[in-house]
Chain A
Amino acid sequence: MSEGTTTPPLRPPAPAPAQPGPRRGHIPLFGPLLALLALLLFNIFFTPNFLTAQTLNVNLTQVATTVIVGVGMTLVIATAGIDLSVGALMAIAGALAPMLFLNPPLGSPGLGVALAFVLPVLAAGAFGLFNGMLVTRFMIQPFIATLVLFIAGRGIAQVLTNGQLQTFSNKSFQVIGLGRPFGIPVQVILMLVVVALFTWVMARTVFGRQILAVGGNERAARLSGVPVNRVKLAVYGISGLLSGIAGLIVISINSSSDANQVGLNMELDAIAAVAVGGTALTGGRATIVGTLLGALIIQLIRYSLLARGVPDAAALVVKAGIILLAVYVQRQRR
């Protein structure tokens, strides 16, 4: 509560907390790596058939969407924001795509598929920009601003599809979820590309430094000439785009699009991945690779539970516990 999200407007501005100099931007990945190793070893010894290509594939394909969305979430959280709408944006992209390739414009199936890859992602990106606009221009707290689409976004997806399940079988579209070049699932390749790209962005580009500056101390960033509003708009836009891509992956794996289900609880998975990976929820620090590790850890915990016959509902409770634990550990480290 003393952390800023709830700072009343009437309170005099508190002096900015001093940034720890040498650790700025640098996050030890030791903890997450150790946890991941421990989980891997546990499963290798105690889960039958764990070390098979199939198990590896199952886990990686399941984690890919969380990682892709988690990367966008990492950027948003690095600016001291949050994006609760990611799951709903996945549902919107997932609702739009089948409409395009099932009723291709100009009767050209090729064009329909091409548009189905592009337009839904752009639409999700536009909704992301809308979030960003609420946060920057209207100065609404990020969690309230994105709470609007968290609920209304899924509603929009349901209105678009009239709540109907859209089923389909379209080889060229479903490449994004079912394609296996060299035996590697396409979404895993996408995931690695996204992780590599944004690791580079955060480490080597001005934009990356600006994101950290905005999250570290917004006033100072503004005074030193960082275009704070543009940076924030961009991160929410990117989060939207990445959610859109994740939405397409989910529906092509399922061969169907259900506006009630696509991306459900994704915001929690993504936030958990970010927190477990070591990015502070208070902003100013970010690690993309950490988010990848965080998502893998959560996926492995879920897999370990399911492999032991723990019901999915109980796994939800465990996941809630992990999120809180990770955030708590974060707080202690500061």
Chain B
Amino acid sequence: MSLAQSPPTGTSVRNARMVSALQRYGVLIALGLLILFGTLRYENFLSPYNVTTVLAYNSMFGLIALGMAFVIITGGIDLSVGSVAAFASVVAALLSPHGLWVALIGAVGAAALLGLINGAIIAYLKILPFITTLAMLLAARGLALMLSGNQSVSADYDHGFTTLGQGTIFGVPYIAVLLFVAFAIGAVVLRYTRFGRRVLAIGGNEEASRLMGLPVERTLLSVYTLSGALAGLAGVILASQFGAGQPTEGLGWELTAIAAVVVGGTLLTGGMGSIGSTLVGVLLLGVIFNVLNFENGRGTISLTVYWQSVIRGAFLLLVVILQNRLTRSRTAP
């Protein structure tokens, strides 16, 4: 406990920075090794079909993780993303007869509104993020069930709605392109814009940011709205890819997103993080499940679908423990 009690110093700042960098390279190397392993072991691992399937499936988690990265860098958390995505998938399916754009804008807008409510409660009523977003997890699920009448809603196939989730450009799924574009924008925003600086500053020290005159409340509001909107986009992709709005989907997605963000070297305590490594984290998780699927197919192991959440949990646990060990800095209870 003596380590925990030592007051934070410049050394621990450098230490945390170093760990963050170490982890960023570590996760990239891990992804590289895993892909190498898969390529050598399975014939179809690098086939266009497998690669595009993995990318398309993980685009939903990726978009959610992108929003989560911004939230976590401010020192917050968003537990509502899974049910907000489910809610948006229902809204999108209901709007799908009016075409892709109406459904997209309507569903993302509705989800952003839920994110805005999260942000307003956290920023202005000062309720802890995990309580606020836990309540929103419940509320968004309730809204999704109400709108859908407790069942999945078939999407319209005749007015172009499913193009987003199922279409490709030069063989690459639209949603995979969307994923990479979104992360590129996210990385630029965090690094080179005033908004990005504010997000980092608030996570580093909220009180100091306020004293420096940064618009803390407004920034938090934007960050949670962004997280809601991206969860909404993931929901639209869900509905478009599988042709239905699914009010009960999205269980445990927040865990996947948090794990992806944390494994990428973003500290759960905020103030430090990388968008690029978050994408690597998402891909690492995606490839891990892909490899497990291949092994299942070969009969080496036989894991039922129920193992997924256990593995996700174990993964998050491992990463958080490692990160805490390495930074050797105290995280307040």
Give A residues with C-beta under 8 Å from B.
1-13, 79-82, 84, 134-135, 138-145, 147-156, 158-159, 162-163, 218-219, 222, 229, 265, 267-268, 271, 281, 311-317, 319-321, 323-324, 327-328, 331
Contact = CB atoms under 8 A, between A and B. Distances in A.
A324 B247 CA distance: 23
Contacts of B220: 1
Given A6-B75, A268-B135, A320-B138, A12 B7 contact: yes
Interface string B253-272: 01100100000000111110
A141 B304 contact: no
A129 to B, nearest CB: 15
Given A8-B271, A268-B138, A311 B146 contact: yes
Interface size class of B (residues with CB under 8 A): 35 or more
B98 interface: no
Contact of B145 (A1, A155, A316): A316
B8 to A, nearest CB: 5
Contact of B310 (A13, A156, A219, A271): A156
Nearest to B210: A2
Contacts of A149: 313
B12 A155 contact: no
25 contacts: A1-B220, A2-B207, A6-B76, A6-B332, A9-B8, A79-B333, A134-B317, A138-B325, A143-B130, A144-B320, A148-B316, A148-B320, A151-B313, A159-B304, A163-B306, A265-B138, A316-B139, A320-B135, A320-B142, A323-B134, A324-B125, A324-B131, A324-B135, A328-B125, A328-B127
A317 B1 CA distance: 42
Contact of B203 (A8, A148, A320, A331): A8
B286 to A, nearest CB: 17
A271 B121 CA distance: 17
Nearest to A157: B306
A321 B139 contact: yes
A145 B131 CA distance: 15
A317 B143 contact: yes
B122 interface: yes
B296 interface: no
A7 B134 contact: no
B304 A163 contact: yes
Contacts of B269: 6-9
B308 interface: yes
Contact of A147 (B136, B255, B306): B255
A1 B271 CA distance: 13
Interface in B287-333: 304-310, 312-314, 316-317, 320-321, 324-325, 327, 329-333
Contacts of B186: none
Contact of B314 (A8, A143, A152, A320): A152
B109 interface: no
A320 B136 contact: yes
A82 to B, nearest CB: 7
Nearest to B207: A2
B139 A143 contact: no
Given A151-B312, A154-B309, 7 more contacts: A2-B207, A8-B270, A10-B204, A163-B306, A222-B5, A313-B150, A317-B142
Contacts of B188: none
A162 B304 contact: yes
A255 to B, nearest CB: 23
A144 B141 CA distance: 21
A155 B306 contact: yes
Nearest to A150: B255
A1 B126 CA distance: 6
A39 B254 CA distance: 36
Contacts of A317: 138-139, 142-143, 146
Contact of A9 (B79, B308, B330): B330
B128 interface: yes
B252 interface: yes
B324 A5 contact: no
A143 B317 contact: no
B131 A281 contact: yes
Contacts of B8: 9-13
B145 A10 contact: no
Given A6-B75, A9-B8, A80-B333, A141 B132 contact: no
B77 interface: yes
B202 to A, nearest CB: 8
Contacts of B1: 222, 229
Contact of B4 (A11, A139, A315, A321): A139
Nearest to A160: B306
Contact of A141 (B134, B135, B333): B333
B206 interface: yes
Given A1-B220, A9-B8, A147-B255, A319 B313 contact: no
Contacts of B205: 8, 10-11
Most chain B CB within 10 A, of A145, A315, A316, is at: A316
A152 B313 contact: yes
Contact of A152 (B13, B150, B310): B310
B312 A152 contact: yes
Nearest to B310: A155
A271 B132 CA distance: 12
Given A311-B146, A314-B142, A331-B126, A9 B16 contact: yes
Contacts of B203: 8
A13 B203 CA distance: 16
Nearest to A149: B313
Contacts of B268: 141, 144
A140 B324 contact: yes
A316 B141 contact: yes
A265 to B, nearest CB: 6
Contact of A5 (B4, B130, B307, B321): B130
